Amino acid sequence: MGNVKAWVQAARLRTLPLSLSGIITGSALAVKQGFFELDIFFLALLTTIGFQVTSNFANDYGDGVKGTDNEDRIGPARALQSGLLSRAVLKKGIILSIAITMLLALTLIYLAFGMEHLLYIAIFFILGILSIWAAIKYTVGNNAYGYRGLGDLFVFLFFGLLGVLGCMFLYTKSLDAVSMLPAVAIGLLCVAVLNLNNLRDVVSDGKHGKHTLVVKMGFENGKRYHFLLIVIALLCFLAYVWIEQFNWQQSFFLLAFVPLLVHLKRVMATVDPGKLDGELKKVALSTFLLAVLFFTAVNIFL
């Protein structure tokens, strides 16, 4: 099924820290309410990695088949595009990844709920199926939602609301309104990474029929949208800090927004989409740092 280097390339390991941010944030919210189980935490991390890798394989396949990954595209070459993996081999990899991820998800659901909460089991099983569907349908098929400007919405829902609140629920078996604020913030920052990717690829996407929000609204408006995503995420966390009455020592995790604000200045001054490629990892790693520092702050000052 191809060589290791090709599969690592298709897995896009640099995307994994961002996908883990929701799990870490959701776990921090659970800790703040007095709930935490190490086995649930690690299994949730593994399950999320499975969903992300499945999504990356499918994205490589979908964009490769549609011709969106081509010589015009900026950024790392994709496995199918570069010929390192064939369509048939990559499709088998997607199927195997789905099987492993669903096995992890079912184990996580059983670990969190046992056989005592059948309704919760059913809900999370359906959410797992929907997560797989979302991972595949982003670029695969004639009605891929990523080609119709809906990628931002799905990233917000699955990486933000479901990732954070769903993880918290695994521990607490409950939801509360104030936890929506960090969930929305993480969701917006994840959307910012996707938007930055779309800003970088606006020319190539437009030429090959991938109608992302940036293609629809234009490069300059895409930059303004990017600004709003990050600023609103900051405001959400500031509101959370105020509502939960964090003191300045407990709020040190907000320092993770400093590199994000510096990043915004660079994005707003950029006129060449190709120069945004280096900014992607800055937003992803800053979001991961924010989640880790938030988790640390909650544990230290509990």
Model pLDDT, residue 210 = 84
CA-nearest of 178, 180, 187, 153 to 165 is 180
User: Which of the four pLDDT bands, split at 50, 70 and 90, describes residue 104?
Assistant: very high
Mean pLDDT of 252-259: 96
CA-nearest of 11, 50, 20, 15 to 288 is 20
pLDDT, the chain, mean: 90
Q: Return the DSSP state at 78.
A: P
Q: What distances in angstroms separate CA 125 from CA 99, 110, 116, 133, one per listed residue?
A: 14, 10, 15, 13
Q: What distances in angstroms separate CA 48 from CA 104, 192, 248, one per listed residue?
A: 9, 19, 32
pTM score of the predicted model: 0.92
Task: Compute the radius of gyration of the chain from its Cα atoms.
Answer: 19
User: Which of the four pLDDT bands, split at 50, 70 and 90, describes residue 9?
Assistant: confident
User: Which of the four pLDDT bands, split at 50, 70 and 90, describes residue 87?
Assistant: confident
Model pLDDT, residue 3 = 77
Tell me how crowded residue 129 is: count the other CB atoms within 10 A of its CB. Answer: 12
Q: What does the pLDDT look like over 236-250, one tens digit per residue?
A: 999 999 999 998 889
User: Which of the four pLDDT bands, split at 50, 70 and 90, describes residue 14?
Assistant: confident
